[in-house]
Structure 1
Amino acid sequence: MATGKERQRQLAREHYERQMQRRIERQAKTKRNAVIGSTIGVVVVIGGVVAAVTLLGGNDSQPQAASSSPAAKPVDPTKVTCSYPEESKGEVKKVGVPPSKPDLSATQMTMNTSQGDIVIDLQPLKAPCTVNSFAFLASKDYFDGSSCHRLVNPDGGGLAILQCGDPLAKADGKGVKDGQGGPGYSFADENLGGMPYGRGVVAMANSGPNTNGSQFFLIFGDETKQLPPQYTPFGTVSKGIDILDKVSKGGFLADNTAPKVKVQIKDVTISGKS
C-alpha cells in the first residue's frame, strides 16, 4: 500500500503530465491557426490583384487576372497543327474555321482604318496558329466595318492599349454588346513570355487561358509592368503608331471605354513583307 508521501508524489507527477499535455496542445493549435491565417492572407492578396486588374472593364475578352506564366517554349512552326474548336459564347459572326496547317508566309497585316493605315509586322514563326487565324479572317472580310471599341489610357502612365477585333462593335458609346463578338471558334495561347510587352506590340485579348478568338490589342504606352505574360504577342506596329497616339490624346466617351476618336476598320489585308 502506498504511503501518504508516495501518493502525493504520484498526484504531483500526474498533474505535471496533464500540464505538459495541455501546453503541447496549445502550441499545436497556435501553429495551426498561424498557417490558416497565412493562407487567408494569400487569398486576400490574390483577390485584390484580380479585382484591381479586372477593373480594366467590360465583360468581353480582355487583359484580366495577373498570374505567373511559363516562358515561351521554342516551336517548329513547320510541324505545328492548329486546332480551332467551336466557341459559341458572346455575339458570334461565323465565317468558317481556319485550316489546320498554318500559313507561314503571312508576315504583314495592314489595317486600313478611318484614321489611316496601321501596319503590323507579324510573327508567324513564333505564333503560327494566331497569325493563321488572322490570315483566314482577313480573307473572309471578317473585320470590315467593325470599330476598335475599347481604349485604356490611365492618367499618369500605366497600361495603355487600344482594343479591336470585335466584328460587331460599333464603339459609339451605345452598344452594350461591344466587346462580346467573336468568330465562333477559339484557339490556344502561343509565344507566352516570348516577346516583352511594350510600345507597338500587338497581342491577343482573352477571357482566360486558351480562349483566343478575334479580339486583340495594340499597346501605345511604355509602362506595361502590370500586364502578365498570358496574352499571345504576335506582331509589332511598324507604321501608324502616331494614329494610336492621336486616339489616346482624344480620350474616351463619358461612362464608356470607346475612344472619342473613332477608329473604324475598313479592310484588313495580309501579305508577305516586300
Structure 2
Amino acid sequence: MSGDDRQNEEDRQSELAREHKERQAKRAAAQTAKSRRNTFIGAGVAVVVVAGGIFAATTLVNREPSKVSAESTPSASASASTAPSVTPSAKTGPVTCTYKRETGVPNKFVGLPGKKPNMKLKKMTIVTNRGTVVIDLMTDAAPCSVNSLSFLAKKKFYNNMKCHRLVTPDVSGVHLLQCGDPLAKADGKNPTDGQGTAGYVFGDENTDISLSKGVVFMTQAGDAMGQNNSQFAISLSDENNQIGSGYNVVGVVSEGMDMLEGLATSGKDLLLNDADITGDGGTTAPKNPVIIKTITFK
C-alpha cells in the first residue's frame, strides 16, 4: 500500500469513527429525553388492587390542558422563564369552583372547600423542618386550586405531613419535590405512598405554563384530566421545562429556593422504594425527611 493509500485509509477510518461517535451521541440524547418524558407520562392510568380496594395511583403525567372548573376562564399570562415572574391574568367575572367527592382512593376527608374563592390571597408560606418556603400565588389564574389549598391549610390538613417524593435528574430525569399525601410515610418502604388525597377532586386551570425552576403546580392521578387533589409539587430545575405545560400552576417560589435545591443533589440522597406498587419510582423519598409543619395564606 502506497503512502497516499495509507493516508486515504486512515482518513476513511477517522471519518467512520467520527460518524459512529455522532450516532452514539444522538442515541444517548434520545434515550435521555425518552426517560425524562416517561417519568411524567408513565404507562397511562395505573389501577392498583390493594387489600381488596381498587384505586388509581397518583403519578405525574404530561397531558393537554382541559377546561377549568371555574365558571370564568382566565388565561395564564405569567411566564415560566429561568426566573419566572408572577403576572396574574385579569379576572373576567365572578368565579365559582366545583369540587367533587372522590371515595375510590385512600384519603383523609376533612370536608369540601367553599365554592367562592378568596381572590385576594397573594402569598402561600410553607414552614418545614428544613426551612421556610414562600410562594407568590397566581390566584386570578388558578382561583380554585388556591382555594382548595387554602381550605386544607385552614383545616390543618398538611400539618406534620411528610413530603413523599423527591427526585433528581440522575434518577428520573427531572428534579422536583412532591407533597400532599396525608397517608404517606416517606420511608422508602410503604408501597402506597403517593396515592393518598383529601377525598375530592377538581378541574384544571392555568395549564399553559411550563415547569421551570420554582414553579408550584398540582399533580393528578395517572393520565387523568380534571382530577386535581391535595397533592402538589415544586419544580427544582429548569430541566423540567422540556416536559411542557398541562399542569395546574398555582404560583412561583419567591423565598426558600436555595434550601429546596439543597434537599438532594443525587440519587444517593434518596430512599429508592422497591415496593412501590406503581412500579414507576413515584415514592422515591428524601433520606432526610421533609416535613411540613404548617401552611398559611395571606
Q: How does 1:88-237 map to 2 (within 5 A)?
A: 88-155=103-170, 158-193=173-208, 195-207=209-221, 208-237=224-253
Taking a change above 3 Å as real, the CA distance of residues 229 and 146 of structure 1, as seen in their structure-2 partners, is: same
Distance 2:118 2:145 in 1: 10
- Structure 1 stretches of 5 or more lacking a match? 1-46
Distance 2:239 2:36 in 1: 17
Return the TM-score normalized by structure 1: 0.73
Distance 1:197 1:150 in 2: 17
Shift of 1:122: 1.0
- Residue of 272, 275, 286 corresponding to 1:254: 272
Taking a change above 3 Å as real, the CA distance of residues 157 and 136 of structure 1, as seen in their structure-2 partners, is: closer
1:266 aligns with 2:293: yes
Shift of 1:77: 6.0
Shift of 1:78: 4.3
Taking a change above 3 Å as real, the CA distance of residues 182 and 163 of structure 1, as seen in their structure-2 partners, is: same
Which sits farther off after the overlay, 260-269 or 153-162? Answer: 153-162
Task: Answer whether contact 2:36 2:174 (CA < 8 A) is retained.
Answer: no
Return the TM-score normalized by structure 2: 0.68
Aligned length, in residue pairs: 223
Whichever residue aligns with residue 215 of structure 2, its letter is V
Distance 2:259 2:35 in 1: 34
Which protein has the larger Cα radius of gyration, Structure 1 or Structure 2?
1
Identity over aligned pairs, percent: 40
1:74 aligns with 2:78: no
Distance 1:159 1:82 in 2: 32
- Structure 2 stretches of 5 or more lacking a match? 1-33, 47-55, 76-90, 274-282
Shift of 1:105: 1.8
Taking a change above 3 Å as real, the CA distance of residues 71 and 93 of structure 1, as seen in their structure-2 partners, is: closer
Q: Which has the higher helix share?
A: 1
Task: Answer whether contact 1:87 1:184 (CA < 8 A) is retained.
Answer: yes
Q: What residue number does 1:239 align with?
A: 255
Q: Which has the higher strand share?
A: 2
Shift of 1:162: 0.6
